[in-house]
Amino acid sequence: MKQRIATREQALKQGLTNFFPGTLCKRGHKAERNAKSGQCVECRREATRALAATGCFREWAAAAKVRAQEAEAAAHVTPKKRRKARRRGH
Ligand SMILES: [Zn+2]
């Protein structure tokens, strides 16, 4: 699949998640970049894979999930729901 070369500004304007700058990243990938962070998607994939291999990512994902649940619970706290929204002890 041939990708159209675009700038990050164009991608952001069009609301795209990724764009293809047509240049190599600092680690030599000819890949798309994330429009918001500007990060090479291949680098990100590798970093994610490396973290997943060490188990860090799962811990991080679990922690992020708990944080999201707590934030959600805090946003909807009513006297009735408060009991359900109790914090998980460590
Ligand atoms: Zn890269």
Q: How confident is the model at residue 32 (pLDDT cuts 50, 70, 90)?
A: very high
Q: How confident is the model at residue 49 (pLDDT cuts 50, 70, 90)?
A: confident
> Residue 90 Cα, ligand 1 centroid: separation in angstroms?
38
- Could you give the CA distance from residue 62 to residue 51 in angstroms, rounded to a whole number? 14
Q: What is the pLDDT of residue 45?
A: 94
Strand runs labelled E in the chain:
18-19, 33-34
Q: What is the pLDDT of residue 4?
A: 77
> Residue 17 Cα, ligand 1 centroid: separation in angstroms?
16
Taking only the tens place, the pLDDT of each residue in 59-73 is 778 889 999 999 999
Q: CB neighbours of 35 closer than 8 A, spacing ≥ 6?
A: 8, 11, 12, 16, 17, 18, 19
What is the sign of the dihedral through the CA atoms of 56, 75, 35 and 15? Answer: positive
